[in-house]
């Protein structure tokens, strides 16, 4: 199998997060960074094939560069879902081999597939044959009693043979019994060095580091020597960190991006979506609660927005009103 270098610049990516990285969240994040690659929430292959595609995988053109994460283990279904993703204009399809939830395990996808490298390879091979866009894999370093030194190599060797050249690694094991998905994001210890050893052994691969990257400084420092990073909760909970990505990671000229201007843009977006799709403002505002984190007035912003965005008649004005509790002069601050 011939590997090709993808045109996507994955030096900084925002992780797929269930219930968080929906299309409204991604529009918000795109206002903060033009260059980072954004990922959808995980969508199962059968949902893409058989469900309401406009609702499940619809997006706005401004969200690009954008990747769709798929969950599944049946090669034919995953290949068909990948074809649909390509037809819909996605720039990448990513295979979920990292989610540890019971629901995902019962569907035989996610982290439990760390025990089935041959199955993952068959999925990747079928998807690669079906599409011309990159097929990538997001995984853990192992599960349960697996030895990360052998488990990660076993998976990587097989998916690389199947045609995958980009691996995104959450540098923790997943415990499939006894820990909740939330606990699996914190309790198993991080092992960044395991990811670095893989990169040293396989320099031809594109290796991205994920897990525990709490701010942009940490992401840049820990990602040194690797091809990129994927940031999850920190990007969601303190989204202003994304405002520094284009300049600090990609070398773009710094901008005078202002948080109040971001709120105004999102207020206009909320009003448009309310008219065009009947989207309630709460579905948009909930992603913005951390925007002013660390600034004077941030608590007032969160409280006021939480009090006002849930009304049936709420409009984008509630975003502007809540932002008015944060002094404008405090919001032009480097990420």
pLDDT, position 180: 77
Is 156 domain-assigned?
yes
| pLDDT (0 to 100) of residue 4 | 34
Same domain, 169 and 21: yes
- Of all residues in the chain, the percent with pLDDT exceeding 90 is 87
254 is an annotated ligand-binding site residue: no
Please write down the HEC assignment for all residues of the chain: CCCCCCCCCCCEEECCCCCCCCHHHHHHHHHHCCCCEEECCCEEHHHHHHCCHHHHHCCCHHHCCEEEEEECCCHHHHHHHHHHHHHCCCCEEEEEECCCCHHHHHCCCHHHHHHCHHHHHHHHHHHHHHCCCCEEEEEEEEECCCCHHHHHHHHHHHHHHCCCCEEEEEEEEECCCCCCHHHHCCCCCCCHHHHHHHHHHCCCCEEEEECCCCCHHHHHHHCCCCCEEEECHHHHHCHHHHHHHHHHCCCCCCCCCCHHHHHHHHHHHHHHHHHHHCCCCHHHHHHHCCCCCCCCCHHHHHHHHHHHCCCCCCCCHHHHHHHCCCCHHHCCCCC
Q: Is the pLDDT of residue 38 over 80?
A: yes
Give the torsion sign (CA, 115, 122, 132, 5).
Answer: positive
Quick one: pLDDT at residue 74? 98
pLDDT greater than 80 at residue 334: no
Q: What's the whole-number mean pLDDT along residues 31-59? A: 98
Note whether 65 and 8 are within 8 A (CB): yes
Q: CA 53, CA 64: separation in Å to the nearest integer?
A: 18
Q: What is the pLDDT of residues 135-174, one digit of tens each?
A: 999 999 999 999 999 999 999 999 999 999 999 999 999 9
Q: Is the predicted pLDDT of residue 53 greater than 70, yes or no?
A: yes
Annotation-wise, does 16 bind a ligand? yes
pLDDT tens for each residue of 286-319 = 999 999 999 999 999 999 999 999 999 999 999 9
pLDDT of 3 reads 33
For the ranges 6-15, 62-71, 119-128, the lowest mean pLDDT is seen at 6-15
Expressed as residue numbers, the domain containing 186 is: 12-248
Gap between the Cα atoms of 35 and 9, Å rounded: 8
Residues 160 and 273 in one domain: no
Annotated active-site positions, please?
99
Cα gap 94→56, rounded to integer Å: 16
95 and 133 in one domain? yes
173 annotated as ligand-binding:
no
Consult the annotation and say whether 228 binds a ligand: no
Q: Are residues 185 and 58 in the same domain?
A: yes
Whole-angstrom distance, CA of residue 29 vs CA of residue 47? 25
Per the CB < 8 A criterion, the answer to whether 35 and 228 are in contact is no
CA-closest candidate to residue 335, choices 235, 203, 229:
235
Q: Pick from 194, 221, 248: which residue ends a domain? A: 248
> Is the pLDDT confidence value at 249 over 50?
yes
Looking up tokens 């008015």, which residue turns up? 324
pLDDT of residue 5: 39
Grade residue 89 by pLDDT with cuts at 50, 70 and 90: very high
Q: Is 239 annotated as belonging to a binding site?
A: no
Domain count, the chain: 2
Residue 183 scores a pLDDT above 60: yes
Whether residue 184 is predicted with pLDDT greater than 80 in this model: the reply is: no
The predicted pLDDT at position 6 comes to 47
Q: How confident is the model at residue 1 (pLDDT cuts 50, 70, 90)?
A: very low
Beta strand pairing status for 43-44 and 66-71?
parallel
The chain-wide mean pLDDT, for the chain, equals: 94
Model confidence band, residue 7 (pLDDT cutoffs 50, 70, 90): confident
170 is a domain residue: yes
Residues 318 and 208 placed together within one structural domain of the fold? no
Residues 43, 240, 138, 92, CA torsion sign: positive
pLDDT for residue 230 is more than 90? yes
Q: What is the mean pLDDT of residues 194-205?
A: 98
Mean pLDDT computed over 226-230? 99
Q: How far apart are CA 154 and CA 148, in angstroms?
A: 10
Residue 219 falls inside a structural domain: yes
CATH number of the domain where residue 189 is located:
3.20.20.70
> Is residue 138 part of an annotated ligand binding site?
yes
For the cut 60, the answer to whether the pLDDT of residue 94 exceeds it is: yes
Residue 289's CATH number? 1.20.120.1460
Considering the domain architecture, whether residues 219 and 142 belong to the same structural domain is answered as yes
pLDDT, residue 335, reads 57
Same domain for 293 and 200: no
Same domain, 222 and 300: no
Contact 292/268 with Cβ under 8 angstroms? Answer: no
């Amino acid at each position: 199998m011939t590997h090709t270098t993808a045109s996507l610049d994955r030096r900084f990516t925002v992780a797929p997060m269930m219930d968080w990285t929906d299309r409204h969240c991604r529009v918000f994040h795109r206002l903060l960074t033009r260059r980072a690659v954004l990922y959808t929430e995980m969508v199962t292959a059968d949902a893409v094939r058989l469900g309401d595609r406009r609702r499940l995988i619809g997006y706005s053109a401004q969200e690009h560069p954008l990747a769709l994460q798929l969950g599944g283990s049946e090669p034919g279904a995953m290949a068909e879902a990948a074809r649909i993703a390509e037809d819909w204009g996605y720039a990448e399809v990513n295979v979920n081999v990292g989610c540890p939830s019971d629901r995902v395990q019962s569907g035989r996808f996610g982290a439990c597939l760390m025990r089935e490298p041959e199955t993952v390879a068959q999925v990747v091979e079928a998807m690669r044959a079906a599409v011309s866009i990159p097929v990538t894999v997001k995984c853990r370093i192992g599960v349960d009693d697996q030895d990360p030194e052998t488990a990660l190599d076993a998976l990587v060797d097989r998916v690389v043979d199947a045609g995958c050249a980009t691996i995104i690694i959450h540098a923790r094991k997943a415990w499939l019994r006894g820990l909740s998905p939330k606990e699996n994001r914190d309790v198993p210890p991080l092992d960044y060095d395991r990811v670095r050893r893989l990169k040293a052994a396989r320099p031809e691969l594109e290796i991205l580091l994920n897990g525990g990257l709490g701010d942009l400084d940490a992401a840049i420092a820990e990602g040194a020597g690797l091809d990129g990073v994927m940031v999850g909760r920190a990007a969601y909970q303190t989204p202003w960190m994304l405002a520094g990505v284009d300049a600090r990671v990609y070398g773009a000229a710094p901008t005078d991006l202002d948080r109040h201007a971001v709120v105004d843009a999102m207020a206009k977006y909320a009003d448009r979506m309310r008219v065009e799709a009947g989207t309630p403002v709460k579905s948009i505002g909930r992603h913005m609660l951390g925007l002013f984190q660390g600034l004077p007035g941030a608590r007032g912003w969160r409280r006021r927005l939480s009090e006002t965005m849930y009304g049936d008649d709420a409009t984008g004005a509630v975003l502007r009103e809540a932002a008015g509790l944060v002094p404008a002069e405090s919001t032009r601050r480097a990420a």
